[in-house]
Structure 1
């Protein structure tokens, strides 16, 4: 009985040794917009921005610094260019602005029409 318990413990310890390694997520390289894509993106971005005015539930996010504005614009571009999914867009947005789930969902669906 002691031998079985000892053998089971040893086997269990070998499994935990194998499962403790960290897996690094692959690095993803995003492409920046070309001038022609930038023009089309800006038009789409304006349309989404204008559509927020018609929604009483949409609350403007505090993008009160150039860095925050650039972060949001880049995030929207990645979504628009289909370099990230809607869910990834919403998830990344909620990491910085956790109280704006409705707004990120609204924008995500606005670009995917």
Structure 2
């Protein structure tokens, strides 16, 4: 049985191998002159990259945050983040919005959150779970 399975896998790899057209052998390639690079390297977004929400997006984001906040009250393990200054509140709002709007990934959200609140991994993961991504 294992031998039959192995032979099937090897045959599949044989059929999926790299093939090359012979067009490049018949006609020589013409050199292309470009001054722009053909690929742009995309850098990961940081806490300073932020796209302001439209009024519609802002309302949808706030509704989602209300749902997450209502779930916090039911979780005895959740320890509130210390957002006691306007600067911290603005940072948190921008960070959660960027996650909600998919400007950053879940991993980036948690990594940025842990920089400020290293003992709040549970809470950051709770917030991530509160967002539903389809």
TM over 0.5: yes
**TM-score category, normalised to shorter length:** 0.7 to 0.9
Matched, 1:30 2:30: no
Larger Rg: 2
Give the TM-score taking structure 2 as reference length: 0.62
Structure 2 unmatched runs, 5+: 1-41
The answer (yes or no) to whether the contact 2:50–2:94 under 8 Å persists in 1 is no
1:21 paired residue number: none
Superposition deviation, residue 111 in structure 1:
1.1
Superposition deviation, residue 27 in structure 1:
6.9
Map 1:90-105; keep pairs closer than 5 Å.
90-105=110-125
Give the TM-score taking structure 1 as reference length: 0.73
Matches of 1:70 and 1:30, distance apart in 2: 12
Provide, for residues 81-109 of structure 1, a one-character-per-residue CA deviation record: whole Å limited to 9, x for no partner: 11111111011000000000000000011
Matches of 1:107 and 1:96, distance apart in 2: 15
Matches of 2:106 and 2:44, distance apart in 1: 19
Superposition deviation, residue 30 in structure 1:
3.1
Matched, 1:108 2:125: no
The answer (yes or no) to whether the contact 2:95–2:109 under 8 Å persists in 1 is yes
Matched, 1:40 2:60: yes
Matched, 1:66 2:83: no
Structure 1 unmatched runs, 5+: 1-24
Question: Which runs of structure 1 show a deviation greater than 4 angstroms over 4 or more consecutive aligned residues?
Answer: none
Q: How many residues align?
A: 89
